[in-house]
Amino acid sequence: TITDHPVVIFSKSWCPYCKAAKALFSTEFPDVKPEILELDLRDDGAEIQDYLLKKTNQRTVPSVFVNKEHIGGNDATQAAFKAGKLAAL
């Protein structure tokens, strides 16, 4: 999934920080359609979260990947946007 999409957001449907990260992409990059995986709505959500911990050292959501690179959670994603690091989208 991470290699197949320019933006991947691992999320939980109820999470306000996840909603903020998703809103950033829908507002600022309307032509980019992120792949969003709502971990709380998937049977394998816990396994995915365990994998993310091993891969990124982060278990919390959102966990945002841009062009196969782990950006981090909402704060890191918002900071990357403000710093112009998401302009390649």
Asked if 68 and 2 count as a contact pair (C-beta separation under 8 A), the reply is: yes
Residue 38: what pLDDT? 99
Residue 1: what pLDDT? 82
Helical pair 16-28 and 74-82, crossing angle rounded to 10 deg:
30
Full-model pTM: 0.95
Residue 88: what pLDDT? 78
- What domains, with CATH codes, occur in the chain? 7-82 (3.40.30.10)
**Nearest C-alpha neighbor of 85 from the set 70, 11, 53, 5:** 70
Strand ranges in 3-79 using DSSP code E only, listed in sequence order: 7-11, 35-38, 63-66, 69-72
Q: Which residues of the chain have pLDDT under 50?
A: none
What are the tens digits of pLDDT across the range 37-62?
999 999 999 999 999 999 999 989 99
Residue 46: what pLDDT? 96
